[in-house]
Chains A and B, each alone.
Chain A
Amino acid sequence: MVVALILLLVAIGSVLFHLLSPWWWTPIASNWGYIDDTISLTFWITGAVFVAVVAFMAYCVFRFHHKEGRKAAYEPENKRLEWWLTVGTAVGVAAMLAPGLVVWHQFVTVPADASQIEVMGQQWRWSYRLPGKDGKLGTSDVRNVSSDNPLGLNPGDAAGQDDVVIESGDLHLPIGKPIKVLLRSVDVLHNFYVPEFRAKMDMVPGAVTYFWFTPTRTGSFDVLCAELCGIAHAQMRSKVIVQEEGEYQAWLEQQQTFAELSGQRRTLKATYQVSGE
């Protein structure tokens, strides 16, 4: 029976594709291995159901396709069977949901020792901010955003003066330390997406959103925008570089603080004015 065979081949082919194809997720670089595990578990359960249903269907087509003189059985329902199937499904669903919720609980519970960093999105680039020596990020307001103050920090806020501002460079992070990523946007929705970290979250103008993770692998990782943000959505790129603590500190030393940056700009402006006179 051709139809039954093709149905069966669809099921088998899907499984073989899953097992043999080279296309799989990129190796993880954060602590969210549990998410990968939950996906794997879900693949196994759903894959088994898919194969079972399609194979059963193929068998029915093979065994009960129309032949001269065949008559269908008359069976309006079978309560016992239906209940068993319902209970079985509920168990399978619970087996996926329970670990999912446990991991979600971890995902939304930020550890107390997580250090904060800020990512800001705008059409169509990324900027970053790290707390300075005081370990605190200063307040900001979208109304303050200007070419002198790309992140819109409040000039009057003392906590913000030592914040490290990275306007169009890469973000560096130390390996092995939990990080709470605060997300802001000045214009439209964006989404800070690093496939290797697994975690992501939308950035909403007018609000600060967050997620947390711990980098577990050094290297350079692509940052993409995962929420449609206009024409150049696909070109909104940056890099995150995860380093050992020493290298990270060396990099951090070279970065400029908000106070330094605004001081420079004031100096620059003054220079222009002087030379213009």
Chain B
Amino acid sequence: MSAIVLFLAVVAVIAGWWLSQQRLASKPWLETGVIDDARGASSLPPAKIGLGVFLAVVGSLFALFVSAYTMRMELVDWRSLPVPKLLWFNTAVLIVSSGALQWARAAVGRDDGEGVLIGLLAGGASALVFLIGQLLAWQQLDAAGYLPAANPANAFFYLITATHALHVVGGLVALGRTTVKAWRGAEPAQLRLGVELCTMYWHFLLLVWLVLLALLTGWADDFVAICRQLLT
């Protein structure tokens, strides 16, 4: 369970930092009158905070998968499956997808409506390619006889990649809505929030994917081993 505890420690540090700004040591009964919160009109829109909180939830979910995976991996009879080469291509595509959205976001800043649309379309298309690539990777494994029920390592592989892919699908729905708006000729300023949220979400999923990839390919093994040594 070290991955989830570590993740929650990071969340706790962020929460602690935020709480430290909230004057929790003040004596409210001595303060009568208007106090203007630090959180004023200039603060972030609720949707962004909402997405941030949601990402914490998703992060917790994946951290738990990682925890479960590493706990199971510690047992002696662990045989991980060979990771298809295709995953490296998929990873590259996902990076491109994130980059495209970053580009769309920059286009919003430049007030470049066409650029935004191109960025969104490119991001969406490459995310689709990523999903198809993941499916193909599954097919390859399936054809090679690595069935989910055969071995816990296989089951974990399918489950973790599927959960990540589902989150990408969910992101595509949101991205689709923003893209349709852009297609219909909305001003970049109107698209700003949507594009920013999508970009944030995409970067997050890319980060999650890189962590998962490191785990599934066994790169993380050494890291886990070091962590365990530190803990014991």
Contact = CB atoms under 8 A, between A and B. Distances in A.
B17 interface: no
Tier of interface size on chain A? under 10
B18 interface: no
B99 to A, nearest CB: 46
Contacts of B27: 76-77
Contacts, number: 3
A76 B27 CA distance: 9
Nearest to A76: B29
B77 to A, nearest CB: 10
A38 to B, nearest CB: 28
Interface in A68-86: 76-77
A76 B29 CA distance: 7
At the interface, is chain A mostly helix, strand, loop or mixed? Answer: loop
Interface string B24-39: 0001010000000000
Nearest to B29: A76
A77 B26 CA distance: 12
A76 B26 CA distance: 12
Nearest to B30: A76
B155 to A, nearest CB: 16
Contacts of A77: 27
B205 to A, nearest CB: 35
A150 to B, nearest CB: 25
Interface string A50-94: 000000000000000000000000001100000000000000000
Nearest to A77: B27
B75 to A, nearest CB: 9
B173 to A, nearest CB: 41
Interface string B1-41: 00000000000000000000000000101000000000000
Contacts of A76: 27, 29
Nearest to B77: A206
A93 to B, nearest CB: 23
B172 to A, nearest CB: 40
A54 B142 CA distance: 65
A186 to B, nearest CB: 18
Nearest to B28: A76
A81 to B, nearest CB: 16
A206 to B, nearest CB: 9
A211 B29 CA distance: 56
Contacts of B29: 76
A221 B202 CA distance: 63
A34 to B, nearest CB: 28
A80 to B, nearest CB: 15
B95 to A, nearest CB: 40
A277 to B, nearest CB: 44
A144 B29 CA distance: 72
Nearest to A206: B75
Nearest to B27: A76
A77 B27 CA distance: 10
A156 to B, nearest CB: 20
A77 B29 CA distance: 10
B29 to A, nearest CB: 4
B23 to A, nearest CB: 16
A145 to B, nearest CB: 19
Nearest to A207: B75
A262 B27 CA distance: 79
A77 B25 CA distance: 13
A77 B30 CA distance: 12
B9 to A, nearest CB: 24
A141 to B, nearest CB: 13
B21 to A, nearest CB: 22
B193 to A, nearest CB: 42
A267 to B, nearest CB: 37
B74 to A, nearest CB: 13
A77 B28 CA distance: 11
A76 B32 CA distance: 14
A243 B190 CA distance: 85
A266 B95 CA distance: 66
A85 B29 CA distance: 22
B177 to A, nearest CB: 48
A209 to B, nearest CB: 15
Interface of B: 27, 29
3 contacts: A76-B27, A76-B29, A77-B27
Closest 3 CB pairs of A and B: A76-B29, A76-B27, A77-B27
